[in-house]
Amino acid sequence: YHPQTDGLEERMIKTLGDMIRRFCAYGLEFTYSDGLTHDWCTIIPALELAYKISVHSSTGQTPAMLEKGWNPRLPADILRKDLIDIHPTVSSFKVMLDKAKHHAKEKYE
C-alpha cells in the first residue's frame, strides 16, 4: 500500500491540514455557546463536513453528492424556502409503494 499514489486521499488530507492550520492561526482554543472551551481536535468533524459539502472545481459536485448521491441537510437549511421537503428518492419510493399497494388490492379483489 502506497498512500502517495492515492491522489484523492492525499488532496483531502492536504486540504484538511490547511483548514486546521487556518483555525490554529486564530488560536488553539475557542468557546462554543455551551460555554466549554475546545481545542483544534474537537473541530475536525465540522471541518470534514465543510469539506464534504463544498463544491469542488474539478468535478462541479460535492464529495457527499458523489459518494452518497445527496448532500446532507444543515440546520441553516431550515431557513431556505427553495429546498424540497422530501428527498426525491423518498418521494419516488412512496409512489412506487402506493402503486404496489393498489396493484395488490386489485389482485386481491
Q: What is the pLDDT of residue 86?
A: 54
Q: Minimal CA–CA distance to 49: which of 62, 33, 39, 40?
A: 62
CB 30 within 8 A of CB 38: yes
> Is residue 68's pLDDT more than 70?
yes
Please state the pTM of the whole predicted model: 0.57
Q: What is the pLDDT of residue 10?
A: 82
pLDDT tens-place string over residues 69-84: 888 888 777 777 665 5
